[in-house]
């Protein structure tokens, strides 16, 4: 079981692609208060946090609260991404999940293991949580979600699925 910290993007994208079950299967998922607030504002009305007992809001403590505010004030990261990355450091999370490229760059510089929505789907395929037909269908749903996926990535992901299941 993984300890995962997630910002708003993957929660919305995986919900849109009907893949939140993969997060639940992966482990315990934490989010900071600002992400919970963002979800209230931007998530589809069908995404109800009360229906997701495995998704827990966890407050930041010092010094991580201060570092999140610094990243945000300096314009490096939006508040949700900043708090989520700081929470990942505070909790020593196994994974930090974000689809924000700036947050991912900062996380990688801090040696925090970081992945995105596509990574979660492919992790599910690589570990046998989803079979090939479901993975292919899920990739199509992810492409149709609000996540931006380039044609090159889509092609490479399809090739990877073929390799993962042979």
Q: Of 100, 98, 92, which Cα lies nearest the Cα of 114?
A: 98
| Six token digits for residue 34 | 């600002």
Residues 34-63 that bind another protein (CB under 8 A): 42, 44-45
* Residue of 104, 106, 130, 138 that binds another protein (CB under 8 A): 104
* Residue of 25, 52, 126, 129 that binds another protein (CB under 8 A): 126
Q: Of 26, 19, 17, which Cα lies nearest the Cα of 5?
A: 26
Distance between CA atoms of 155 and 143, rounded to whole angstroms? 11
Query: Cis bond leading into 63, ω under 30°?
Result: yes
* Residue of 88, 106, 125, 138 that binds another protein (CB under 8 A): 125
Contacting residues toward another protein, per CB under 8 A: 16, 42, 44-45, 99, 101-102, 104-105, 115-116, 118-119, 122-123, 125-127, 144-146, 148-150, 152-153, 156-157, 160, 163-164
């Amino acid at each position: 079981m993984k300890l995962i910290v997630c910002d708003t993007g993957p929660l919305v994208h995986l919900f849109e692609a009907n893949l939140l079950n993969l997060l639940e299967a992966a482990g315990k998922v934490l989010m900071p208060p600002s992400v919970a607030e963002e979800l209230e504002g931007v998530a589809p009305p069908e995404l109800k946090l009360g229906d997701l007992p495995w998704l827990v809001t966890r407050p930041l403590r010092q010094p991580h609260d201060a570092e999140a505010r610094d990243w945000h004030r300096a314009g490096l990261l939006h508040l949700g991404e900043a708090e989520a990355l700081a929470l990942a450091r505070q909790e020593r999370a196994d994974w930090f999940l974000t689809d924000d490229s700036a947050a991912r760059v900062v996380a990688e510089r801090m040696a925090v293991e970081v992945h995105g929505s596509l990574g979660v789907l492919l992790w599910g395929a690589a570990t046998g949580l989803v079979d090939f037909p479901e993975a292919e269908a899920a990739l199509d749903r992810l492409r149709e979600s609000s996540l931006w996926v380039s044609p090159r990535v889509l092609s490479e992901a399809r090739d990877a699925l073929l390799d993962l299941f042979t």
